[in-house]
Amino acid sequence: MSHVLVTGANRGLGLEFVRQLLGRGERVVATCRHPGRALPLNRLAGEFPGRLMVLPLVLPEARSIAELVRELETLDVRLRLLVNNAGLMLDGERFGTIGLDGLRQAFETNAAGPLLLTQALAPRFDAGARIVMLSSRLGSIAGTTALHTPSYAISKAALNMAGRLLAAELGARGLVVVVLSPGWVRTDMGGASAPLAAADSVSSMLRVVDGLAASDNGRFLSHDGGAIDW
């Protein structure tokens, strides 16, 4: 039976994706580091019995990815949509204090994790499945004019390349891979002054995903479907 899988689903945009997907009748696999502590997800599981599975996933740990894949195989879960949403942003980075640990952590979570997960899940995708790499305009090299959140921006630029590579590989199998920017959203990461509500960002992105065609494979798009320069 076809499902949608959303990573980083315990809060923010990931949680909103789960909420809206369930609301329109989808079967959802929601992953996060600590399912037992994900109270909003567990409440949704109670509201939508039989349509939401909450499973552990720690990216980019190979063992965690393998355990998730085994669980999906055991349950014979097929995927029509993967939303690679899990990510992190480090606070307080300034030129002169940028460190290797922060760069490594951002790259592993924001770029390597989605790439490795998508690779591992490839046998579970339905024909014509869609894969969304949730990126940011901060990952646009063409649009960069100042040093801002460097580890996040660098890792999202790497995620954009991962999306292009996956599009080249999976597009040949009839799948569509896109890189999406959600906009500046009011979440823990985006902050209270962000102009866009999570519900509005996610509803816009889902409209974009619903309208994707084979010709969109490998594109970098905004939450409203506009093209973003790499």
Mind listing the pLDDT tens digit for each residue in 217-230? 999 999 999 999 99
Once rounded to an integer, what is the mean pLDDT over residues 129-146?
95
8 Å CB contact between 80 and 175: no
Among the listed ranges 141-145, 162-166, 169-173, 196-200, which one has the minimum average pLDDT value? 196-200
Closest CA to 202 of 17, 6, 46, 15: 17
8 Å CB contact between 183 and 196: yes
> Half-sphere exposure of 194 toward its Cβ, with a 13 Å CA cutoff?
17
Once rounded to an integer, what is the mean pLDDT over residues 158-173?
97
User: d(Cα 223, Cα 96) in Å, to the nearest integer?
Assistant: 33
pLDDT at residue 184 is higher than 80: no
Percent of residues, the chain, with pLDDT higher than 70: 98
Q: What is the structure's pLDDT at 177?
A: 98
CATH no. of 2-222: 3.40.50.720
Main-chain dihedrals φ then ψ at residue 104, nearest 5 degrees: -65, -45
One-character DSSP codes across the chain: -EEEEESSTTSHHHHHHHHHHHHTT--EEEEES-GGG-HHHHHHHHHSTTTEEEEE--TT-HHHHHHHHHHHHHTT-EEEEEEE------SS--TTT--HHHHHHHHIIIIIHHHHHHHHHGGGEEEEEEEEEE--GGG-STT--S--SHHHHHHHHHHHHHHHHHHHHHGGGT-EEEEEE--SBSSTTT-TT-SB-HHHHHHHHHHHHHT--GGGTT-EEETTS-B---
Q: What is the structure's pLDDT at 193?
A: 74
User: d(Cα 198, Cα 207) in Å, to the nearest integer?
Assistant: 14
Main-chain dihedrals φ then ψ at residue 181, nearest 5 degrees: -100, 125
Q: What is the pLDDT of residues 84-123, one digit of tens each?
A: 999 998 888 999 999 999 999 999 999 999 999 999 999 9
Residue with tokens 């079967």: 27
For residue 91, what are its two tokens?
């606070």
pLDDT at residue 166 is higher than 70: yes
